[in-house]
Amino acid sequence: MTRKTKKTEETKPGRVAMHDLMKLVNKKAGRNVAHDLTGVNPTEVKEWIPTGSRWLDSIVCKGKLAGIPVGKVTEIAGLESTGKSYMAAQIAANAQKMGKLVVYFDSESAIDPSFLERTGCDLEQLMYVQATSVEFVLETVEELLGATEERLLFIWDSLALTPSISDVEGDFNPQSSMAVKARILAKGMSKLIIPIADSQATFLVLNQLKTNIPQGPNARIIAMTTPYMTPGGKALQYSYSLRIWLTGRKSKAAFIEDDKGYRIGSEVKAKLEKSRFGTQGRNCTFRILWGTEDIGIRDEESWFEAVKTSEYLKSAGAWYTLTMPDGYTKKFQPSKWTETVQNDEEFRTNILKLMDHEVVQKFDKREGVAEQFYADPE
């Protein structure tokens, strides 16, 4: 007896299989834009570029150690002297270690090759481009995306100081080109989002934080709740998957000084102003040194701030004792924290486990008081 087979959706008269519809859409688009979400998620970030701060990388994406998302557009905006360019250079060096080529658009004419080398960049794998106009930057990114299969990191330093063509060719009257730049950015960025994702490129936009001066009856309330704003218009903000804002710490001096009182670095607070990865509003702190031979983020120094409230750390006078669930115990002095982390491999391994537990896993599992993950670090 022949067993009757149940008709599938593909064989029913008048019905079209889903994969046939996908082929039709992809043919119309000229590339793969239609996907079956029961398989691989095409919008999922599969790779992250470390920022140089493990604490910052730990708060970017819910449930994992992350960084700058590949295939997305990220903004790093900051006040003056908060280390935007230093952080971007360190991200560039980390991207090169992952086999990526770096294209650096500079509108500030402030990049020093020796500075890039000191952060770890390979100048042979970095293209320096003068950002003559907003249109030029956006068109160049679009052209390079279609010209190579290399995984590219684009850094734009900075959006705020890059003029539009009408700014360059016009006079100095701001009224003559009002809102032109914002309209160009809104159109250009919306045009680049999908090609960047398809090419698995990364676009890092550096911007300036400016004091927000609102007007109207609620101006005072708005100024208190939103003290800063960024140039480029509101439409541009929808292009970003991640926005990191850098400011100085409130309770300490903005600068780090050496033994003789010379300024060699900055205390920086990083806040996730926007995150499509479930972590908006989280923040952390770290130090950036720029006045010494070895420049960049002092990563290990910030780890103590990240874990010092843990139940596994107990203080007694000038000493702390780390007691892990597996029985590992270590006494140390905060004044020798960095030295201990760098020289004691077992201690370092356990501190990284503790950071993952306190910063990543607790937030992911919603353990503890929510305010502790959003409170300003002091």
How much is the pLDDT for 7? 46
Q: Which of 18-22, 248-252, 266-270, 295-299 has the lowest mean pLDDT?
A: 248-252
pLDDT band at residue 3, thresholds of 50, 70 and 90?
very low
Instruction: Tell me: cis bond preceding 166? Omega within 30 of 0 counts.
Output: no
Nearest Cα neighbor of 49 from 274, 156, 201 is 201
Residues 162 and 139: their CA atoms lie apart, in Å, by: 14
In a domain, 311, yes or no: no
The reply to whether 218 falls in a domain is yes
In a domain, 375, yes or no: no
Q: Which domain holds residue 54?
A: 38-299
**Which segment of 146-150, 221-225, 285-289, 354-358 scores lowest on mean pLDDT?**
221-225
59, 86, 108, 147 alpha-carbon torsion, rounded to 10°: -70
Q: What pLDDT is attached to residue 83?
A: 86
Percent of the chain topping pLDDT 90: 65
Residue 23 domain flag: no
Q: Domain total for the chain?
A: 1
Between the two ends of the chain, the Cα-to-Cα distance in Å is 79
* 327 is a domain residue: no
Q: Is residue 17 part of a domain?
A: no
227 vs 238 pLDDT, higher one: 238
Average pLDDT over the chain, rounded to whole?
89
For residue 11, pLDDT beyond 80 = no
Asked whether 329 and 323 are in contact (CB, 8 A), the reply is yes
Least confident of 198-212, 282-296, 350-364: 282-296
pTM over 0.85? The answer is yes
Q: What is the pLDDT of residues 304-331, one digit of tens each?
A: 999 999 999 999 999 999 999 999 999 9
- Res. 14: pLDDT tops 80: no
Residue 30 tokens read as: 């000229």
Token pair 């043919």 is found at: 27
CATH number at residue 69: 3.40.50.300
Domain membership flag for residue 219: yes
pLDDT of residue 5 exceeding 50, the answer is no
pLDDT for residue 71: 97
Predicted local confidence at residue 106, as pLDDT: 96
Average pLDDT over residues 1-12: 48
Least confident among 63-72, 250-259, 356-365: 250-259
**258 and 89 in contact (C-beta within 8 Å)?**
no
Residue 98 clears pLDDT 50, i.e. is over it: yes
Q: Check the CA dihedral 356-360-363-365 and report its sign.
A: negative
- Residue 75 maps to a domain: yes
- Name which of 68, 71, 75 is nearest 43 in CA terms: 71
